[in-house]
């Protein structure tokens, strides 16, 4: 088991990034801002009460992502976990000043099937207020931890809408043991809650093989699959003029992070090819232009031909 250490100081090295001109990119890059110990794989191994004693490593890799984006003149949306805001606030404010979007990832990274509607409501309010107070922006978008809005937890959409969010990015249109709505649309759509509420949804990129959808939009899939697969998927989507969304976590650029007990499959999912993530991300940013979720979605919000998909029973 890894040895817990005192938290590191606030980040003092802020990446130098020039403000970018508006773009018409149809690809959205997103970053789930959390620490390695927030990952779902460790939910049963690391108690939340122990988080303050663990080493905080996200700032360095968040800076690396910011530098890559600046170098390649792209923007991203940062879905920020409220728990991290106090010590990452200077860096997050700088990212916002450079045209990146600050969105919400909740406060304490609990999978939605482990919370009640009241607990989720409190979690979202707490995270939103923390971001507003310390970063100075009101987040428009929300992403549930571990993409955990499914048919089972579709009630969460009503809470997200109630809390004032304008879009969601929590529904992964695949089969998976932790998340997924395999028959959901694969491009932006209007998600309808069990009570009839409606919110704009932007799912991660998938590859349709006919008999199955293969997730390629980021995370472990980005680390595992050859880079050429993702680049070809993005190129094909661009030819179809289809908006795409990718995601990554700061800890996915950190091959030296502390290791904690986990099952064999879970450990493999968490650690596979961590040393290759930054180079793969660099190559993607060389090949494609990326923008924030909000800027990619904005022209779509007024279109009437986006599909509507109900998660009601």
Provide the token pair at 287. 């090949």
Indicate if the pLDDT at residue 24 is higher than 70.
no
Q: What is the pLDDT of residue 107?
A: 98
Q: Which residues pair with 199 in a beta bridge?
A: 191
Indicate if the pLDDT at residue 200 is higher than 90.
yes
- Nearest alpha-carbon partner for 29 in 288, 237, 245: 245
CA distances from 37 to 45, 170, 240 (A): 9, 20, 39
Strands 308-310 and 244-248: unpaired
Render 205-220 in DSSP notation, one character per residue.
PEEE-SS-EEE-SBHH
pLDDT tens column, 158-182? 999 999 999 999 999 987 777 889 9
- CATH T-level assignment (fold) for domain 27-310: TIM Barrel (3.20.20)
Q: How far apart are CA 193 and CA 153, in angstroms?
A: 10
Q: How far apart are CA 244 and CA 187, in angstroms?
A: 7
Q: How far apart are CA 301 and CA 299, in angstroms?
A: 6
pTM beyond 0.75:
yes
Mean pLDDT of the chain: 90
Q: Is the separation of the CB atoms in 68 and 106 below 8 Å?
A: no
The domain limits of the chain are: 27-310
């Amino acid at each position: 088991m890894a040895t817990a250490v005192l938290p590191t100081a606030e980040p003092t090295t802020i990446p130098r990034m020039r403000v970018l001109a508006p773009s018409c990119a149809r690809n959205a890059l997103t970053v789930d801002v959390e620490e390695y110990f927030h990952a779902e794989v460790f939910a049963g191994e690391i108690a939340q009460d122990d988080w303050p004693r663990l080493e905080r490593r996200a700032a360095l890799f968040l800076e690396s992502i910011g530098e890559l984006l600046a170098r390649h003149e792209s923007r991203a949306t940062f879905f920020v976990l409220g728990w991290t805001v106090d010590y990452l606030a200077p860096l997050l404010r700088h990212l916002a000043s450079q045209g990146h979007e600050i969105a919400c990832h909740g406060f304490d990274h609990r999978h939605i099937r482990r919370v009640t509607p009241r607990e989720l409501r409190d979690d979202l309010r707490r995270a939103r207020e923390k971001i507003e107070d310390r970063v100075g922006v009101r987040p428009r978008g929300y992403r549930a931890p571990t993409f955990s809005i499914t048919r089972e937890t579709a009630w969460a959409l009503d809470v997200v809408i109630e809390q004032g969010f304008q879009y969601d990015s929590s529904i992964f249109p695949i089969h998976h043991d932790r998340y997924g709505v395999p028959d959901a649309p694969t491009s932006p759509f209007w998600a309808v809650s069990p009570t009839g509420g409606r919110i704009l949804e932007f799912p991660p990129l998938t590859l349709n093989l006919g008999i199955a959808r293969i997730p390629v939009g980021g995370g472990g899939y980005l680390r595992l699959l050859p880079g050429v697969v993702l680049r070809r998927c993005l190129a094909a989507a661009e030819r179809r003029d289809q908006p795409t969304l990718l995601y990554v976590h700061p800890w996915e650029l950190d091959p030296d992070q502390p290791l904690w007990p986990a099952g064999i499959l879970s450990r493999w999912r968490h650690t596979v090819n961590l040393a290759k993530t930054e180079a793969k991300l660099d190559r993607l940013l060389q090949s494609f232009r990326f923008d924030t979720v909000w800027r990619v979605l904005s022209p779509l919000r007024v279109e009437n031909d986006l599909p509507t998909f109900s998660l009601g029973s």
